[in-house]
Amino acid sequence: MRLRTTQAAGTPPVVAAPSFVVPGAIPENCAFLEPLVDEVALCFFETRACLEYGEDDLPKHLARHALTYHVHLPLDLPDDPGELRASLIGLAEKAAFLAPRFYVLHPPPTEALLRTAVAALAKAGVPPGDILLENVGSPPIAPLLPLAYDFGMHFCLDIGHFLRLGEREILKDETLLSRTRCLHVYAPDPVGSGRHHKLSLLDDKGLAFLDDLVSRLPHLEAVVLEIFDRHGFERSLATWQARYPHLEGVR
């Protein structure tokens, strides 16, 4: 089993890709992405389906790729505390052999469920500092911030969610900015469908927002170009490299 890696202070963020960019499952995507990026975000988007993953879905040879990994936990996690606990433990156990650097979690609707989630992941060997709450608009992240700070949690900020769904007021919180380890980058669909488009489709205001946000995250470790098609991803990778050449975390 791999050992979980940590990133040295001052190291540029790595550029990461979601595990679904080209047709095929996670193994095919990791093979395609290995020459392009340093890290893959394992998109465990559906609880039941991902709990049923077997060797074909997460083969042991993934650990031999020259990649690090992190996990994006499901979008449909159950609200029942017992089911939530069992689901999170099961999912963390599925990914453990890849030593994910952190786990991205959408905000639960209540503090009680956040406590349950943190306790469950801790039982699976994931410390609170490696759980990253993501801004998703609804449920809002702001009511959970005091508890998240008490736990020592970190954060994943999503530029598309800020541009499309709001919550920009949380960006006044310097503690949140200093604890942000991951950034999701893409152009949101202008008609509000939730689809993720290539980075070059950001308008001037969107690009200015991204520039400002990147400059304010002193401990950023990973930038996920969260685009789920090959053309859009490859174009976005080129756009990112051209716009931020000083961030040398990509190969």
In angstroms, the CA 129 to CA 106 distance is: 15
Q: What is the pLDDT of residue 41?
A: 99
In angstroms, the CA 217 to CA 224 distance is: 14
* 225 contacts 17 by C-beta, under 8 angstroms: yes
How many C-beta neighbours within 10 Å does residue 192 have? Answer: 9
Residue ranges and CATH numbers for the domains of the chain are 35-236 (3.20.20.150)
Q: What is the pLDDT of residue 31?
A: 98
By the 10 Å C-beta count (0-12 exposed, 13-18 middle, 19+ buried), 53 is classed as middle
In angstroms, the CA 214 to CA 208 distance is: 10
In angstroms, the CA 75 to CA 176 distance is: 22
pTM higher than the cut 0.75: yes
Largest CA distance in the chain: 47
* 199 contacts 235 by C-beta, under 8 angstroms: yes
Q: What is the mean pLDDT of each run of 10 residues along the chain (251 residues)?
A: 56 96 98 98 98 98 98 98 99 98 98 99 98 95 98 98 92 98 95 87 96 97 98 98 80 46
Q: What is the pLDDT of residue 5?
A: 57
